[in-house]
Amino acid sequence: MAEPAYLVASDSETTGEEKSSSPFPDIAIGIDIGTSQCSVAVWSGSQVELVRNTRNQKLMRSYVTFKDEIPAGGVSNQLAHEYEMLSGAAIFNMKRLIGRVDTDPVVHASKSLPFLVQTLNIGVRPFIAALVKNMWRSTTPEEVLAIFLVELRAMAEVQLKRPVRNVVLTIPVSFSRFQITRIERACAIAGLQVLRLMPEPTAVALLYAQQQQQNVHENMGSGSEKIALIFNMGAGFCDVAVTATAGGVSQIKALAGTALGGEDILLNMMRHLLPDMDSHFSTRGIDEIRRMGLLRVATQDAIHKLSSQFNVQIDVDLGNGRKISKALGREEFEDVNREVFEKCESLIKQCLHDAKVEVEDISDVILVGGCSNIPKLRNIITGFCKREIYNGINPLEAAVRGAALEGAVASGVNDPFGSLDLLTIQATPLSIGVRADGNSFVPIIHQNTTMPVRRDVIFTTVHDNQAEALIIVYEGDEKAVEKNHLLGYFKITGIPPAPKGVPEINVCMDIDASNVLRVFAGVIMPGVQNPAAPVMEVRMPTVDDGHGWCAEALNRTYGSTLDLVTVQKKGAH
């Protein structure tokens, strides 16, 4: 994976000239903001290249430290030591916190991080603060992410010698649309325009599609369809995708994902080594933060070592007369994290089931992300898929390279050698529907539907002379409506007086290729051609922070007075 030298800032002027006179000045760059690490890549005119920072790093730690007057992120800042990141002054893991409310288990799991994550458990945004000169200075995950993106943008502009505006970002499969709006907001603060948001495994799928396409060209072999299973596990999230690839087109068959990653494994191990960790850490004084940092670094090292060796000795002096000295075996590690690995396996099973693909049909199994070195994980996947892991892809660079490819394709760049003769056909990771038929979730666009998509379902009123109806839009796959993510709500007014069940209320949802969701709703009376009232077009999500309250408030205020029921039983599945 040797990169051309021009990426180094001090390289000759001529290569720089070439870059600035590039025929595609607006070509979007690919950014992979990982929970722990982050990278930027761009189509150079003939291939994808990773952009390096001034310290010649391709992968940069995702954190922002507030210890100085001006906050500094992992792109420009050099950590003196890992402990500096754990001093409480640095905020990291923002990807796990962004767009989540304080009742979310993932937020609660983050309370053992060195910075402050305060929860009031009422369904609002958690309070996050960094320790600066012994004071908790408040911030938000969006702000932290924006500061970090500004640094990434500045770095890319210096290296590419042109302004950077358009980006393709990779996101976890399990991100809700509300979380996506937070990411977009952070990009907007950083002056970046989001061209596409790609679920991480689909970016890997595009890179795989390109490789397959090249193989076909080189060997003049058959361009037959290949099914690949992509498993991506980083520090924060675990994603699975099944893709069918032929002729440079990657068609996503199914997606599955959850907020589960190396961070959870680390936390399990820390609790295993220090069972009363949480009580130890409750007051969060400077000494306690330091001790927690020591434990965290020692555990992290041990986990890394267990990928290559079977036993590891942990010796850490937490001060305060507290010492941990323990020999840890790989089996013990696997046992402590059994649930994590089981969850990974069930996610793969679910994804294959949703894609209607049998294990025997899989041509390649691709394993990427920071956790891809864990032997247990590799064993589970090779055992389950009865196949060796595909080795043509760098597990830490796959997602960002795919994002850069998508950036070039969606920016309209053509490659004379056909290297960009590519396309990803995305699928919806979660169902989208409305509350109807009492307190049920009625999906309108189902999970794993090919995008872009437009679907509609016809509803009707539940009361005689019902003049208004409430459309409450949710995203998710839970039967009980309140377990899904609320995306927004609006009211249809001006339904002409009629017995219940007569007016037809058509709710149509449209998702375009850039993943923008529009909800349309109109009222039609039988025998009348034109809608009874102007049709509503609402771009979703409309909810803002504290949205946990909205559904409950609506319920309290309106009860079932503005309810709807389905006419046609659930559209095509």
Partner 1 sequence: MLSLFPFHQQFFRPNSLQTHPHFNLNNPVWWRRQNSVGVVRCNRNGVEESKSYYELLGLCVDASPQEIKDAYRKLQKKYHPDIAGEKGHESTLMLNKAYKVLMKDDLRKQYDASIGKISDNLRGGSIWEGSLRPQALFVDENACIGCRECVHHAGNTFMMDEIFGTARVKVQYGDDEERIEISVDSCPVNCIHWVDTEELEVLEYLIQPQAKVGYGIYGQGWERPANVFMAAKSFNKQLKQQEENQQRCTKSTDEEETPAQAQARESAYRELKVGRFARLWSWMKRSTSQ
Residues contributing to the site for partner 1 (CB under 8 A)? 196, 225, 246-249, 251, 406, 409-410, 412, 418, 421, 423-425, 450-458, 504, 506, 508, 510, 512-514, 520, 522, 524-531, 534-535, 537, 568-569, 571-573
Shortest CB 169 distance to partner 1, Å: 15
3-state secondary structure of 515: coil
The angle subtended at Cα 522 by Cα 516 and Cα 525, nearest 5°, is 160
Smallest gap from Cβ 535 to partner 1, in A, equals 5
Cα gap 514→411, rounded to integer Å: 12
Kindly provide the residue ranges of all beta strands, DSSP E only, lying in 234-387, ordered along the sequence.
Answer: 238-246, 249-258, 311-317, 323-329, 364-368
Pair of tokens at residue 341 = 């690995």
Q: Which residue's CB is nearer to partner 1, number 38 or number 241?
A: 241
Give Cβ neighbours of residue 253 (< 8 Å, ≥ 6 apart): 227, 241, 242, 243, 244, 354, 355, 356, 357, 427, 448
Q: Give least dist CB 159 to partner 1, A.
A: 26
Cβ proximity to partner 1, 190 vs 207, nearer residue: 207
Q: Which is nearer to partner 1, 4 or 496 (CB)?
A: 496
The nearer residue to partner 1, 247 or 375, going by C-beta atoms, is: 247
Single out the residue of 29, 387, 31, 51 nearest to residue 231, CA to CA. 387
Residues forming beta bridges with residue 38, ordered by sequence position? 33, 60
Of 285 and 418, nearer to partner 1 (C-beta) is: 418
- Roughly what angle, to the nearest 10 degrees, separates helices 141-160 and 177-189? 50
Min separation Cβ 41 and partner 1, Å: 18
Which residues contact residue 90 at a Cβ distance below 8 angstroms, ignoring those fewer than 6 apart? 63, 64, 65, 66, 67, 84, 114, 115, 130
Q: Which CB sits closer to partner 1, 43 or 92?
A: 43
- The nearest distance, CB 470 to partner 1, in angstroms, is 19
Task: Please state the φ and ψ torsions of residue 520, each to the nearest 5 degrees.
Answer: -115, 145
Contacts of 348 (CB under 8 A, 6+ apart): 229, 231, 240, 256, 381, 384, 385
**Minimum distance from residue 249 beta carbon to partner 1 (Å):** 4
- Supply the minimum distance, in Å, between the C-beta of residue 565 and partner 1: 15
Which lies closer to partner 1 via its Cβ, residue 383 or residue 418? Answer: 418
For residue 280, count other CB atoms closer than 10 A to its CB. 17
**Type and span of the H or E element at 202:** helix 200-219
Residue closer to partner 1, measured from CB, 357 or 381: 357
Token pair recorded at residue 201: 């495994």
Amino acid at position 430, single letter: L
Nearer to partner 1, 85 or 169 (CB): 169
In angstroms, give the least distance from the CB of 422 to partner 1: 9
**Minimum distance, C-beta of residue 219 to partner 1, in the bound complex (Å):** 14
Helices 262-273, 286-305: crossing angle, 10 deg rounding: 110
- Pair type for strands 72-73 and 63-65: antiparallel
**Residue 120 burial by Cβ neighbours in a 10 Å radius (0-12, 13-18, 19+):** exposed
Q: Which residue has the tokens 């927690």?
A: 292
Please say whether the beta carbons of 532 and 494 come within 8 A.
Answer: yes
Q: To the nearest whole angstrom, how small is the minimum distance from the Cβ of residue 363 to partner 1?
A: 15
- Residue nearer to partner 1 on the CB measure, 98 or 509: 509
Tell me how far, at minimum, the Cβ of 529 lies from partner 1, in Å.
5
Identify whether the C-beta of residue 40 lies closer than 8 Å to the C-beta of residue 33: no
Q: Which is nearer to partner 1, 273 or 420 (CB)?
A: 420
First to last CA, the chain: 44
Q: Where are the beta strands (DSSP E) in 140-263?
A: 166-171, 193-199, 226-233, 238-246, 249-258
Give the nearest distance from C-beta 423 to partner 1 in angstroms. 5
- Phi-psi label, residue 360: left if phi above 0, alpha if psi -120 to 50, beta otherwise: alpha
Token pair of 166, please? Answer: 């358009």
Angle between helices 398-410 and 200-219 (to 10 degrees): 80
In the complex, least distance from residue 477 CB atom to partner 1, rounded to whole angstroms: 19
Residue 133 or 573: the one with the smaller Cβ distance to partner 1 is 573
- Cβ closer to partner 1: 139 or 411? 411
Q: Which is nearer to partner 1, 62 or 243 (CB)?
A: 243
Residues 6 or more apart whose CB falls under 8 angstroms from that of 330 comprise 306, 309, 310, 311, 375, 376
Report the nearest approach of partner 1 to the CB of residue 531 (Å): 7
